[in-house]
Amino acid sequence: MAIEQTLILVKPDGLIKSLTGNVISRLSEAKLTIMGAKVVRVSRELAIKHYEHLQDKPFFEELIQYIMGDVHKTYRVLALVYQGEDAITKIRDVVGHTDPEQANPVSIRGAYGRVTRAGVFENVVHASSSAEDAEKEIKLWFMPEEIVEDLYPVKEITINEVKKLVWA
Ligand code: DAT
Ligand code: MG
């Protein structure tokens, strides 16, 4: 068994239903270590990159609108990085099947997810499905400084004349 990292997103349906605490409690059953956490307003660009592999699916546009928060009018997701032995499988077990109707009722998606009449899986959470996906997704959602340890190799760059917001 290898030490793995995994990206978990509590999607907008999870936030609007106030399920964040429940989800984190359930994730803690996997006995992993939390490495990063933040609330993100998802841009269309980020949504498309995250679901790149599904762009030919008929439900792609609905999926993008769902993760961006357009469906639930709540424009935020909670992004979490966990690390530990066999992290990807352990988290996927707690999270459950992609389709909430097929998910084990005691899994997060089985307990809290639903399928809309239009056939969209509102399944509350995302969890990485392989080590390759996890690396791609963690690098997409987090900067190195937002994670408590360098999970992947980093490099230092110097950026000149970059505009940045600071507190006024
Ligand atoms: P997972 O989120 O379990 O890794 P996935 O990567 O195949 O599943 O798909 C990403 C999301 O797309 C999934 O959480 C919900 C949606 N989705 C997948 N298959 C679907 C389908 N057949 N109908 C509707 N939504 C689907
Ligand atoms: Mg997936």
* Predicted pLDDT of residue 117: 86
Q: Is the CB of 123 under 6 A from ligand 1?
A: yes
Is the CB of residue 72 less than 8 Å from the CB of residue 14? no
| pTM of structure | 0.96
Rounded-to-5 percentages of helix, strand, coil across the chain: 40, 20, 45
CA distance linking residue 16 with residue 80, whole number of Å:
17
In the set 50, 53, 72, 126, the catalytic residue is 126
Mutate to test the pocket of ligand 1, among 42, 98, 117 (most ligand atoms within 8 A of CB): 98
CA distance linking residue 136 with residue 128, whole number of Å:
9
Alpha helix segments (H runs only) across the chain: 12-16, 20-27, 44-50, 60-68, 87-95, 108-112, 131-141
- Ligand 1 atom nearest to 92, measured from its CA: 3
Span of 1-5, 48-52, 66-70 with lowest mean pLDDT: 1-5
pLDDT band, residue 83 (cuts 50/70/90)? very high
pLDDT band, residue 1 (cuts 50/70/90)? confident
Provide the mean pLDDT of the chain. Answer: 97
CATH class of 3-146: alpha beta
Report the pLDDT averaged over residues 110-126. 95
- What are the domain boundaries of the chain? 3-146
**Catalytic-residue membership of 50:** no
